[in-house]
């Protein structure tokens, strides 16, 4: 995942430039590690180095690629890289004087502030497309000329010197809290994922998935569920998750007989959930901590049970589909069954130690930045020890190869960290403009008026708004915009602040599988060869918890309160999970065997009752589904004796089944 994958210039000059850029990337990462370890300068100075050098790295990478037929374009990127470097140097060296001039910016401040904003917008456009920069430009124009507008859009206006100050030189906007969060926390978690993958994390996940594949009828689909949930701690991107794990899970599912549409949908839904799976979760989880001042450890604990509900329901859904298709176990002499648990632990088990350390340090109250710093250091130590021991025993690679893997991980972490740092810097401008103009608060009141005082209508509007933002920008951007515009209105209704942010967080994530864009579905279809619309519809059905859980965060906030009310959180999450099972049986018309229309009506009624905000109705629905499920299971076991089922499976062909 290093920069080599982004560079098309393979000339001798290009290789030297690539090596130089890799060294710069590693130096940038080491600077962040040193800053967290010793804090040699202020947080504002760190933000300057983080954002300015990130833009320099990205522009220089564009120069090396030379992926345009016009020679001047490559030199244009080099020029922007040099401008970024000069602006970074200016901000860093003149930091104390700029702080003294906050509120009364000089002409020089206005000029360099304008250049800083232009550089950040240019880098964001290059890496993330035009949507986020365009929205940012609109907010800047709104801040300048809002006094000419009417209605809730009106504000008194901001003159240009103050605009550049709020955007950069006052250490707000591009150099605001979002950039600080990126520099002190997010980049270190990205580095953890990159290092873990560089030293064999992806192979560990793949082998665990293969072990599952040979032990369950639905094993091929369960591999996608397990591998994608685990890959969430490596990749915070749905599209990247689909591309990495889907490359082997989707073909595996197709070979077992799953329809390409269903195979792509399973992978998309499983990969989407990677961002809600503790202990790392997605970048937006860190933004929740930064915006709400709620400790990250508390957010991780709160998100744990809903994430389990999401994945257990997905696992149940693929199990039902496998039984419906009458899949049987894979023969034990297939090549995939040669993967043994003890061999996997012997070869890759040491990689679990850093994950355990990270989780432990977060749960005991360590700051996330320090926790992941210890995890990264432990990853290097256990990786080196394992390499040395393996070499002494005559197997594995040498220390030099391990060093090259770590180097690639550092470069990859820098590349992804720079990309996220740039887009968060751009989003910082939008956040600041919404704040200083008062637009966010006025829009919240307008949304409340539009909802007519009906909380459900308000929540539906916010959900649609978040899904809309998610069509054209990454999850952090969709979450930030939606939560800035809607959180005050939702909190005004009396909903808890964590529930509000988790509501928006979930919808920002599942926007990756909702048409018309559905970036996760697009990537999956490219691998599966299925139909876009068919895959998207299957994904929406499988991801039902992602659409329903957020509403429960608000109407039953106890499901997020595992730390203080464990029993309440457990029983409400259990009710929700049973309700999801009922919906799955209704849609598929199958459980242990076919479910008739009367049974499907019972399943749907029970699920609807469970989802009702009233606890009494929820328990009534639970009872209906429990009675039906038990009776259905007992009838099935009477019709099919276990010994007969085993004999039948032994006679069935277990290699490949035709695609549906």
Alpha helices in 493-614 (DSSP H): 497-510, 519-528, 532-542, 544-555, 566-588, 597-611
Does residue 609 surpass a pLDDT of 90? yes
Domain containing 164 equals: 3-171
Each residue's pLDDT tens digit, 346-375: 778 888 888 888 888 887 878 888 888 888
On whether residue 162 sits in a domain, the answer given is yes
Instruction: Give pLDDT, residue 640.
Output: 53
Each residue's pLDDT tens digit, 47-72: 999 999 999 999 999 888 765 556 66
On whether residue 92 sits in a domain, the answer given is yes
On whether residue 491 sits in a domain, the answer given is no
pTM of the shown model: 0.77
Rounded to a whole number of angstroms, the CA Rg of the chain reads 26
Residue 312's nearest CA partner among 584, 507, 604 is: 584
On whether residue 270 sits in a domain, the answer given is no
> And the tokens for 262?
């269903």
Instruction: Give pLDDT, residue 138.
Output: 92
Each residue's pLDDT tens digit, 442-456: 877 787 788 877 888
Instruction: Give pLDDT, residue 72.
Output: 67
Q: Report how far residue 653's alpha carbon sits from residue 78's, in angstroms, rounded to the nearest whole number.
A: 60
Q: How confident is the model at residue 329 (pLDDT cuts 50, 70, 90)?
A: low
DSSP sequence for 258-287: --HHHHHHHHHHHHHGGGGSTTT--HHHHH
Better pLDDT: 299 or 394: 299
Each residue's pLDDT tens digit, 171-181: 999 998 889 88
Across 554-578, average pLDDT: 91
Better pLDDT: 556 or 398: 556
Better pLDDT: 638 or 455: 455
CA angle 652, 657, 660 (to 5 degrees): 130
Helix (H, G, I), strand (E, B) or coil at 590: strand
Percent of the chain with pLDDT over 90: 32
Q: How confident is the model at residue 515 (pLDDT cuts 50, 70, 90)?
A: confident
* Highest mean pLDDT: which range of 140-149, 326-335, 644-653: 140-149
Q: List phi, psi (to 5°) of 402.
A: -60, -40
Domain total of the chain: 1
CA atoms within 13 A on the CB side of 33: 19
- Mean pLDDT over the full length of the chain: 83
On whether residue 58 sits in a domain, the answer given is yes
Q: List phi, psi (to 5°) of 71.
A: -60, -35
8 Å CB contact between 277 and 300: no
Instruction: Give pLDDT, residue 1.
Output: 40
Does residue 376 surpass a pLDDT of 70? yes
Does residue 300 surpass a pLDDT of 50? yes
Each residue's pLDDT tens digit, 456-493: 888 988 888 888 877 767 788 888 888 888 888 888 88
On whether residue 609 sits in a domain, the answer given is no
On whether residue 301 sits in a domain, the answer given is no
Q: Report how far residue 509's alpha carbon sits from residue 511's, in angstroms, rounded to the nearest whole number.
A: 5
Across 268-280, average pLDDT: 85
Across 289-313, average pLDDT: 90
Instruction: Give pLDDT, residue 85.
Output: 95
Q: How confident is the model at residue 4 (pLDDT cuts 50, 70, 90)?
A: very low
Instruction: Give pLDDT, residue 233.
Output: 54
On whether residue 509 sits in a domain, the answer given is no
Better pLDDT: 656 or 408: 408
Does residue 334 surpass a pLDDT of 50? no
Each residue's pLDDT tens digit, 212-250: 766 677 777 888 888 777 776 555 567 777 877 787 788
């Amino acid at each position: 995942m290093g920069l080599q994958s982004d560079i098309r210039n393979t000339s001798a000059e290009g290789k030297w430039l690539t090596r130089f850029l890799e060294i710069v990337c590693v130096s940038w990462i080491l600077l962040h590690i040193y800053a967290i370890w010793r804090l040699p300068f202020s947080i504002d100075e760190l933000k300057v180095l983080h954002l300015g050098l990130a833009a320099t790295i990205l522009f220089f990478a564009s120069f090396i690629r030379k992926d345009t037929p016009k020679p001047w374009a490559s030199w244009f990127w080099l020029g922007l890289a040099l401008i970024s470097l000069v602006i970074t140097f200016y901000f860093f060296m003149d930091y104390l004087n700029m702080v003294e001039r906050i509120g009364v910016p000089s002409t020089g401040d206005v000029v360099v502030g304008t250049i800083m904003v232009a550089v950040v917008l240019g880098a964001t456009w290059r890496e993330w497309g035009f949507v986020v920069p365009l929205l940012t430009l609109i907010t800047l124009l709104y801040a300048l000329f809002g006094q000419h507008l009417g209605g809730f859009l009106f504000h008194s206006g901001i003159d240009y010197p103050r605009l550049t100050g709020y955007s950069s030189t006052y250490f707000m906007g591009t150099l605001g809290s979002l950039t600080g969060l990126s520099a002190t926390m997010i980049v270190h978690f990205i580095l953890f994922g990159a290092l873990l993958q560089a030293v064999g994390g992806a192979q560990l996940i793949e082998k665990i998935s293969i072990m599952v594949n040979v032990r369950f009828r639905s094993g091929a689909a369960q591999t996608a569920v397990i591998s994608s949930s685990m890959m969430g701690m490596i990749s915070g991107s749905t599209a990247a998750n689909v591309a990495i794990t889907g490359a082997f899970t989707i073909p595996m599912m197709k070979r077992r007989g799953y329809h390409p549409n269903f195979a792509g949908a399973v992978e998309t839904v499983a990969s989407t959930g990677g961002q809600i799976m503790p202990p790392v979760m997605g970048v937006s989880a860190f933004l929740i901590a930064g915006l709400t001042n709620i400790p990250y450890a508390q957010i991780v604990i709160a998100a744990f049970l809903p994430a389990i509900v999401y994945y257990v329901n997905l696992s149940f859904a693929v199990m039902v589909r496998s039984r419906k298709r009458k899949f049987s176990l894979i023969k034990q002499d297939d090549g995939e069954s040669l993967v043994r648990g003890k061999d996997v632990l012997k070869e890759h088990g040491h990689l679990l130690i850093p994950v355990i350390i990270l989780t432990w340090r977060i749960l005991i109250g360590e700051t996330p930045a320090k926790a992941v710093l210890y995890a990264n250091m432990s990853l290097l130590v256990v990786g080196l020890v394992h390499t040395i021991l393996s070499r002494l025993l005559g197997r594995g690679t040498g220390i030099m190869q391990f060093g090259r893997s770590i180097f690639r991980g550092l470069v990859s972490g820098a590349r992804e960290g720079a990309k996220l740092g740039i887009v968060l810097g751009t989003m910082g401008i939008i956040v600041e403009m919404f704040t200083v103009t008062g637009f966010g608060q006025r829009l919240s009141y307008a949304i409340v008026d539009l909802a007519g005082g009906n909380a459900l209508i308000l929540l539906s509007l916010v959900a649609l708004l978040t899904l809309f933002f998610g069509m054209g920008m990454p999850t952090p951007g969709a979450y930030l915009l939606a939560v800035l515009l809607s959180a005050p209105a939702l909190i005004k209704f009396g909903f808890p602040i964590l529930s509000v942010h988790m509501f928006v967080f979930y919808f920002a994530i599942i926007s990756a599988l909702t048409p018309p864009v559905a970036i996760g579905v697009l990537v999956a279809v490219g691998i599966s060869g299925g139909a876009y619309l068919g895959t998207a519809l299957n994904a929406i059905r499988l991801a039902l918890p992602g659409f329903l859980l957020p509403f429960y965060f608000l109407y039953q906030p106890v499901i997020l309160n595992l730390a203080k009310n464990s029993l309440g959180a457990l029983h409400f999450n259990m009710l929700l999970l049973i309700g999801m099972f009922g919906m799955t049986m209704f849609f598929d018309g199958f459980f242990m065997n076919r479910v008739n229309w009367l049974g499907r009506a019972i399943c749907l009624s029970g699920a609807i009752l469970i989802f009702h905000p009233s606890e009494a109705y929820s328990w009534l629905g639970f009872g209906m589904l429990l009675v039906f499920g038990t009776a259905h299971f007992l009838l099935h076991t009477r019709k099919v004796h276990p010994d007969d089922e085993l004999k039948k499976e032994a006679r069935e062909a277990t290699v490949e089944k035709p695609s549906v």
